[in-house]
């Protein structure tokens, strides 16, 4: 979205109150709150132009379906994807519900607005042999032995435990040596227990032995060159370099290792509900996307093995 118009003081205060409630009651992360703030302020900026005045908190309850259709049309006309517009409307709905609870009317039109349907993209995992090669190549491209061990350990955690990059980098010195089961705090503050493979434990210990910075129990486990917390962009950069050197597609990102963890478990006969628990998905429907990936791979093998005449 473009930079939104400045909302009225009352509306700006309402937005911050809503975001504070999301963080305190729902465990919304700072990144989630920032994205929601951006989307809602963008919508309010649209209303200021569309209606000719900065909207007040009660304005949302008085909106009609034409207002919502105009917003969607404007965003789609600016080239935003259906997924991005749907995310913005989801944030606006959440804000409107919070306003309603606070006594600012019932936002009927917002709650009833039709969300643009986005084609659901399938996860794009990395093949097992390519994942193993990536771990070696990430280490080979590092500038120092301890950095090589660090990058290999992080990527091993993403693939071997199915962690998000934020979850791996949230580990502290108190987490090592890794136990047989690791307690992970994921999105929305949801905790889950993940079994730790011996290879992952060994990779972390190899890094810890070489790391030149003291790994205090209260400090980050993975360190940058200057000793601060490792920036996820540096991990992405290391994976990108390895991907280029191996000739892998652009979809081979740090998050793709998490996809690989799920699809490889599924292909080995893993239970879908168990995989949901290991990934920390709130809904089974999110995990079910991996069954489509597995089916798509089976069809590719079938087409190669049994080509049509």
Active site (catalytic) residues? 164, 187, 255, 258, 281, 290
d(CA 200, CA 158): 9
172 C-beta neighbours (distance < 10 Å), count: 15
d(CA 58, CA 99): 8
d(CA 127, CA 260): 7
Dihedrals phi, psi of 5, to nearest 5 degrees: -65, 155
d(CA 187, CA 167): 9
By C-alpha distance, which of 171, 158, 146 is closest to 236?
158
Handedness of CA 182, 277, 26, 234 (dihedral sign): positive
Handedness of CA 189, 195, 199, 204 (dihedral sign): positive
d(CA 140, CA 161): 22
The widest CA-to-CA distance across the chain, in whole angstroms, is: 69
d(CA 263, CA 47): 44
């Amino acid at each position: 979205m473009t930079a939104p118009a400045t909302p009225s003081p009352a509306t700006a205060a309402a937005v911050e109150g809503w975001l504070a409630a999301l963080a305190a009651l729902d465990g919304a992360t700072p990144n989630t709150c920032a994205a929601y703030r951006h989307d809602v302020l963008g919508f309010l900026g649209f209303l200021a132009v569309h209606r000719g005045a900065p909207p007040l908190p009660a304005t949302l309850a008085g909106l009609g379906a034409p207002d919502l259709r105009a917003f969607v049309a404007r965003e789609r006309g600016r080239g935003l994807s259906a997924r991005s517009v749907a995310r913005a409307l989801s944030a606006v709905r959440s804000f409107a519900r919070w306003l309603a609870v606070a006594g600012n009317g019932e936002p009927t039109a917002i709650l009833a607005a039709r969300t643009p349907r986005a084609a659901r993209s399938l996860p794009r995992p990395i093949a097992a042999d390519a994942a193993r090669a990536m771990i070696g190549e990430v280490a080979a491209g590092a500038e120092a032995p301890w950095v090589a061990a660090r990058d290999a350990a992080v990527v091993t955690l993403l693939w071997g435990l199915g962690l998000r990059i934020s979850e791996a980098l949230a580990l502290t010195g108190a987490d090592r040596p890794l136990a047989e089961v690791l307690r992970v705090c994921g999105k929305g503050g949801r905790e889950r227990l993940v079994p730790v493979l011996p290879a992952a434990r060994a990779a972390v210990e190899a890094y810890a032995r070489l790391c030149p910075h003291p790994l205090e129990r209260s400090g980050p486990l993975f360190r940058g060159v200057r000793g601060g917390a490792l920036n996820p962009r540096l991990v992405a950069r290391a994976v990108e370099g390895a991907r280029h050197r191996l000739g892998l597609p652009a979809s081979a990102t740090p998050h793709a290792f998490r996809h690989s963890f799920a699809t490889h478990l599924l292909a080995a006969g893993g239970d879908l509900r168990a995989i949901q628990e290991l990934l920390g998905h709130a809904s089974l429907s999110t995990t079910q996307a991996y069954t489509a990936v597995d089916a798509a791979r089976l069809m590719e093998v079938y087409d190669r093995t049994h080509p049509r005449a």
